[in-house]
Amino acid sequence: MRRYLPLFVTIAFIVLLALGIWSGEVPVVWHKAITICLSCIGIG
Amino acid sequence: MERLRRKSQYIFTLLANAYWLFPWRSPIYQGPLKKICFPGLNCHSCPAATMSCPIGALQNLLATLRPSLQMGQIHFGAYVLGSLGLIGSIGGRMPCGWICPFGLLQKWLFLLPVPKLSFWRPFRMGPYLFLVVFVVLLPILVVDPLGYGSTWFCKYVCPAGTLEAGIPLLSLDQGLRCAAGWLFAYKFIVLILLLIWCTVTSRPFCRAICPLGAIYGLFNRISWLRLRFHPDRCVQCKACLTICPTGISFYNGLDDLNSAACIRCLRCLSICPANAVSLEFGPVQEDIGKAVNTIES
């Protein structure tokens, strides 16, 4: 069982990635990334 | 191998910061590539950044978790965690050694001819502390009356944000310069202290702070790509320990070669005169004798 752990982990994270895309997280990530993050630059 | 790694670091640093139109067009890149999380630490508010920062994106999703739940959406960072987990499950912490622009900066700074200090081992728990407290718990738990949290790691810790975004944007925009106050001053001091630390200690940010490295490090033992130590071949010359940027002492059994601290730079593989380190790709091997698909150093 442990032998195929990398395979199970990869599949699990592909599923998680697909879930994130399906639930609409990509536009949220994009929207945050195209606006200047005031926290990051030490203002807000 | 080292030359290949250096090229990889330069190429990925340039790819992650390939938008050079910011002085004439929008102050930061706003195209579709920013939907993709860059595998290394590279602030997405950097004027030249072409992709989003996974740690910034994860914090943003967690900071808005409560409002998104109220709107019937479950945005807990599955996209970001899925992207990082997929990369981590293949190469473990390899992006830290081969891709990360902030890792490259640390490498350069450590080359400066100044007295060197060793790394205090208990600091190794730092990345997990920053990951759990600053990236996950505080953005979720400390919220305003509307339920919105803050990006605590970006705001109070991240030196990459100050260096790559804060300083360039404030240099370019007088309005932002006027708005900068005590927080910018604090972050600037954090950056300066960290840069000084980088000159005297090898990769201190990766070893004591980086939450992205903490995530990738969790995969080091179970990723497709792993390192293997052959104690029967080892001549105890300590060349691996001398060259290791994160000070992993596996030749004497003190550390596991695939410990979470290993950034997979593969320098130990190249330098070992006795071929006691090998690289393997495939299912986890229970028995060294049955190893298949093993690439000898």
Residue ending a domain, among B194, B216, B238, is B216
For residues B235 and B286, membership in a common domain is answered with yes
Interface pTM (ipTM) of the complex? Answer: 0.94
For residues B79 and B174, membership in a common domain is answered with yes
Residue B169 has pLDDT above 50, yes or no: yes
For residues B239 and B111, membership in a common domain is answered with no
pLDDT score recorded for residue B175: 87
Measured between beta carbons, which residues in chain A are less than 8 angstroms from residue B37?
29
pLDDT score recorded for residue B190: 96
Of A21, A23, A29, Cβ closest to residue B73 = A23
CA atoms of B131 and B157, how far apart (whole Å): 11
Q: Name the residue in chain A with its Cα closest to that of B284.
A: A3
Give the sign of the dihedral formed by CA A35, CA B57, CA B100, CA B295: negative
Note whether B218 and B260 are within 8 A (CB). Answer: yes
Q: Name the residue in chain B with its Cα closest to that of A41.
A: B166
Of A3, A6, A39, Cβ closest to residue B155 = A39
pLDDT score recorded for residue A29: 95
Instruction: Report residue B205 as tokens.
Output: 């940010």
Q: Got the DSSP string for B2-34? A: HHHHHHHHHHHHHHHT----TTTS-SS--SGGG
Ranges A5-9, A38-42, B128-132, B145-149, most confident: B128-132
pLDDT score recorded for residue B290: 40
- How many domains does one find in chain B? 2
Measured between beta carbons, which residues in chain A are less than 8 angstroms from residue B187?
42
- Angstroms from A24 CA to nearest CA on chain B: 8
For residues B43 and B136, membership in a common domain is answered with yes
For residues B60 and B97, membership in a common domain is answered with yes
Average pLDDT taken over every residue of chain B? 91
Q: Got the DSSP string for B163-223? A: IIIIHHHHHH-HHHHHH--HHHHHHHHHHHHHHHHHHHSSSHHHHHT-HHHHHHHTTTTTS
Residue B23 has pLDDT above 90, yes or no: no
pLDDT score recorded for residue B286: 61
CA atoms of B129 and B187, how far apart (whole Å): 19
For residues B11 and B136, membership in a common domain is answered with yes
Residue ending a domain, among B216, B238, B269, is B216
A31 in contact with chain B, both atoms CB, cutoff 8 A: no
Residue bearing the bigger pLDDT, B76 or B25: B76
Contacts for B287 with CB less than 8 Å, ≥ 6 apart: none
pLDDT score recorded for residue B222: 92
A23 in contact with chain B, both atoms CB, cutoff 8 A: yes
CB pairs under 8 A between A and B: 168
Q: Name the residue in chain A with its Cα closest to that of B74.
A: A23
Question: Region B20-49: what's the mean pLDDT?
Answer: 90
Q: Got the DSSP string for B108-177? A: HHHTSSS---PPPGGGGGHHHHIIIIIIIIHHHHS--TTS----HHHHHT-HHHIIIIIHHHHHH-HHHH
For residues B95 and B207, membership in a common domain is answered with yes
Contacts for B119 with CB less than 8 Å, ≥ 6 apart: B201, B202, B204, B207, B208, B247
Measured between beta carbons, which residues in chain A are less than 8 angstroms from residue B22?
none
pLDDT score recorded for residue B2: 86
Residue B155 has pLDDT above 90, yes or no: yes
Note whether B277 and B230 are within 8 A (CB). Answer: yes
pLDDT band at B262 (very low <50, low <70, confident <90, very high): very high
Contacts 24+ apart (CB under 8 A), B48-51: B48/B17, B48/B18, B48/B19, B48/B20, B48/B22, B49/B16, B49/B17, B49/B19, B49/B164, B49/B165, B50/B15, B50/B16, B50/B17, B50/B18, B50/B19, B51/A33, B51/B16
Range of the domain at B294: 221-297
For residues B111 and B191, membership in a common domain is answered with yes
Task: Give per-residue pLDDT as tens, B72-91.
Answer: 888 999 999 999 999 999 99
For residues B118 and B234, membership in a common domain is answered with no
- Angstroms from A26 CA to nearest CA on chain B: 6
For residues B203 and B261, membership in a common domain is answered with no
Note whether B61 and B6 are within 8 A (CB). Answer: no
Residue B198 has pLDDT above 70, yes or no: yes
For residues B58 and B204, membership in a common domain is answered with yes
CATH number of the domain bearing residue B250: 3.30.70
Residue A16 has pLDDT above 50, yes or no: yes
pLDDT score recorded for residue B180: 85
Residue ending a domain, among B175, B200, B216, is B216
A43 in contact with chain B, both atoms CB, cutoff 8 A: yes
What is the rounded radius of gyration, in angstroms, for the C-alpha atoms of chain A?
A: 17
Residue B128 has pLDDT above 70, yes or no: yes
Query: In which order are the strands placed within the sheet that holds B277-281?
Result: B225-229, B277-281, B294-296
Question: Region B126-153: what's the mean pLDDT?
Answer: 95
For residues B241 and B189, membership in a common domain is answered with no
